[in-house]
Structure 1
Amino acid sequence: MKLYEPITLAMPLAKWIGDFIRENGRLPSGEEVREAMKEFGLEESCLDRGLAVYRSRFLIALVFARNENLIIDVISSSGELSDALEVIAYHDKKIEAFVVEILPTNDLEYEGNIGIEPIILDEKSLEPESSPVLGHFEEDNGGMFLVIDGETYERWREGEDVTTCPICGGELAWRGEKAYCLDCGYGVKVVRK
């Protein structure tokens, strides 16, 4: 997995949180997030009463784990905030669901269109009520790709337009199992098991 920009950590992290909730019926604890961040290749820099700081060569992640909320800010290590993202997970008692969202910290840069559908899981059945397109990022000679599995692709194809980029909302051009977005520069690759 390549972690160059905040989106390259935010999407796999949101997917991990969603999978964790489906398996355990609750939000992950601070310690569980800590282990996941290490598995993503980040180094722990600071841990202090509800706040943890992780870093890699290109990214810094601030984790705030509180009872019913989990907030993770992902910032470029250069300090540039224009592409910073926030992964928020919470239990929404009003709609009786767990929600995991990826939000831009700078609405002006993203103009309110980041393209990423939130994960919404029914609190009782833990079944998805949304169809986000999430995965991890890999780089090959064709560029940087969001890698998704066949199940995610089929769910996406049934519910949404597969010519819309799941990252930025731009237009995708498909060539076999790969798609390229002319707007954000990322691609999508389907890997079937």
Structure 2
Amino acid sequence: MVIHEPVNLAMPLAKVLGETIRRNRRLPDGNDLREVLKGFGLEEICLDRGIAVFRGRTVVAMAFPRDEPLVVDVISSSGELSDALEVVAYLDRKLNAFIVEIVPANDIEYEGNIGLEPVIIDAESFELKSSPVLGHFEEEEGSPFLVIDRETYEHWKENGNTDICPICGGELAWKGERAYCLDCGYGVKVVKK
């Protein structure tokens, strides 16, 4: 897995949080979240009341593991806020669903458009009620790719949105099992599980 900028951590984190909610039938607690972030290769550099800070080579993640909502701010290690993102997980009582979404941490400065559909999980059946396009990032020949599994691709295809980049909302050009965004430069690669 490659993490060069906040989106490279936010998307796989949202995926894992959604999977954890479905498996454990609850929001992850602080210990769950710490293990997930360490699993992404981040080093825990601070743990204090209500906040944990993790550092990677190119990103810093600040976790606020309260009971609800669960919030992780991901910023570039350079301190640049224009691409900072928040991963938020909570129980929406009106929808009776758990929601995991990625939002710009700074609406004024954000340069792109998060094209992601949130993870929506029914709070009773724990079935996925949305079709988020989430995965992890790899680099091939200097090009970054969002790697998604076949099941994620099939759900995405059912919605008819496969021409829209899940990262920036731009236009995708497909060539076989790969797509290239004409706007943000990221690619999407479909792999077998």
The TM-score range, normalised by the shorter chain, is over 0.9
State the Cα deviation string for residues 37-88 of structure 1 (Å, max 9, x = none).
Answer: 1110000000001100000110000000111210000000000000000000
User: Does structure 1 residue 90 correspond to structure 2 residue 87?
Assistant: no
User: Does structure 1 residue 145 correspond to structure 2 residue 145?
Assistant: yes
> Aligned to 2:65, what secondary structure does the other structure show?
strand
Q: Percent identity?
A: 66
State the Cα deviation string for residues 91-148 of structure 1 (Å, max 9, x = none).
Answer: 1111100000100122244478310110010000011111000000000116100000
User: Does structure 1 residue 7 correspond to structure 2 residue 2?
Assistant: no
Distance 2:24 2:16 in 1: 12
Taking structure 2 as the reference length, what is the TM-score of the superposition? 0.97
Letter in 2 for 1:39: G
The corresponding residue for 2:70 is 70
CA distance 1:109–1:179, change in 2 (3 Å)? farther
> Aligned to 2:179, what secondary structure does the other structure show?
strand
Cα RMSD of the aligned pairs, angstroms, is: 1.2
Taking structure 1 as the reference length, what is the TM-score of the superposition? 0.97
CA distance 1:84–1:180, change in 2 (3 Å)? same
The corresponding residue for 1:81 is 81
User: Does structure 1 residue 118 correspond to structure 2 residue 118?
Assistant: yes
Letter in 2 for 1:188: V
How many residues are matched? 193
Letter in 1 for 2:6: P
The corresponding residue for 1:168 is 168
CA distance 1:133–1:50, change in 2 (3 Å)? same
In 1, are the aligned partners of 2:81 and 2:110 still within 8 Å (CA)?
no
Distance 2:160 2:27 in 1: 27
